[in-house]
Amino acid sequence: MPVEAVRWAEGELVIIDQTLLPTEYREIRLATLESVWEAIRVLRVRGAPAIGVCAAFGVLVGVREKRPTSAPDAVRAVEETVNYLATSRPTAVNLFWALERMKKVAEGLAADGSLKDFWHRLEAEAIEICEDDKRRCRAIGDHGAGLIQDGNGVLTHCNAGALATAGSGTALAVMFRAKELGKQFCVFADETRPLLQGARLTAWELMQAGIDVTLICDNTAAQVMREGKVQLVVVGADRIAANGDTANKIGTYSVAVLAKAHGVPFYVAAPYSTVDATLPDGAGIPIERRSAHEVTHGFGRQTAPDNVNVYSPAFDVTPAEFIAGIITEKGVLRPPFAKSLAAHA
């Protein structure tokens, strides 16, 4: 596995500060609850599964900071921490899924146990959420690698790699595994405006792994498809509704439309922790809005007039009918997704 985006190192929460990549690789320690919230908010740690894992460990940081003196006190500390971290970003359901798991453990221990047991149980749960994600990534890679054939061009959007998970990634896990199996293929990485996760992170990860990657501007995707250079698209997901509608990084929907127009199969790779079965379809997925500054002053240079109106949703929803398959840890699910997702839940 090339990198560890988030880890628990003998009681310390350590992440790679992804805002510095690709020019600087730096690990930072998140020692306060506020720093955990801020790291998620400004995308020092990002990608749906990685946010969930970071938040699980963040609960430990928050509880430690609150210094509870009894088990019921500790339960309150967990609840407060969970509620606070849940305000960091709205779209990736893995965040809420992980926080809910932590809250459940705390509630289960509420009444009698000692404070020491409480801590150990909570820590064990966060570690299990992290290890569980690693296993899911591996399984996604195993199931998805068969979709890539020798000579294929694979297009991806944003970053769904090791940096976005606790393990080897989702969309990129498929590529890492295909490479391990000796397949010959190349990848087109959309740069992914405005925060350039494709250029800064995906291109970096794939190059580290020795995979043939070509960076393209987002608006080049149609052209490479028309030139016959792309045989499949694989992207990650932030939230998948019960019918398969999928929220992912802004621009994913346009890639799906382009793929359909060019007869290229479009795959989503995600663990079940990204599935939100409470939502019948994508209409109810909350979409994060980001600041105008990220668009007008990207990476240190003003590129738009002062005070111009900006609209910057961070994610969009690809309707299920554009998706050929969802690569999960349980296998490659096929439409109709309402059935296949429910059958493997």
List residues with catalytic annotation.
238
Residue 314 makes contact with ligand MRU by CB under 6 A: yes
Task: Find the binding residues for ligand MRU in span 186-205 (CB under 6 A).
Answer: 197
Q: How far is the CB of 100 from ligand MRU (least distance, A)?
A: 18
Residue 328 makes contact with ligand MRU by CB under 6 A: no
Residues 6+ apart with CB under 8 A from 133: 49, 52, 53, 165, 166, 167, 271, 273
Sole binder of ligand MRU in the list 3, 8, 13, 49 (CB under 6 A): 49
Q: How far apart are the first and last CA of the chain?
A: 27
- Cβ proximity to ligand MRU: between 78 and 164 the closer is 164
Query: For the chain, how long is the longest CA-to-CA vector?
Result: 66
For the chain, what percentages of helix, strand and coil (3-state, to nearest 5) are there? 45, 15, 35
Task: Find the binding residues for ligand MRU in span 155-174 (CB under 6 A).
Answer: 158, 160, 164-165, 169-170
Task: Find the binding residues for ligand MRU in span 89-108 (CB under 6 A).
Answer: 92
Task: Find the binding residues for ligand MRU in span 232-251 (CB under 6 A).
Answer: 236-238, 248-249
Q: State the burial class of residue 303 (Cβ atoms within 10 Å of its Cβ: 0-12, 13-18, 19+).
A: exposed
Contact between 279 and 242 (Cβ < 8 Å):
yes
Phi and psi dihedrals of 70, rounded to 5?
-150, 165
In the block, tokens 């909350």 appear at 286
Q: How far is the CB of 85 from ligand MRU (least distance, A)?
A: 15
Contact between 164 and 131 (Cβ < 8 Å):
no
Q: How far is the CB of 249 from ligand MRU (least distance, A)?
A: 3
Neighbours of 1 (CB within 10 A): 14
Q: How far is the CB of 89 from ligand MRU (least distance, A)?
A: 7
Residue of minimal Cβ distance to ligand MRU: 236
Residue 325 makes contact with ligand MRU by CB under 6 A: no
Number of residues that bind ligand MRU (CB under 6 A): 19
Interface residues with ligand MRU (CB under 6 A) are 43, 46-49, 92, 158, 160, 164-165, 169-170, 197, 236-238, 248-249, 314
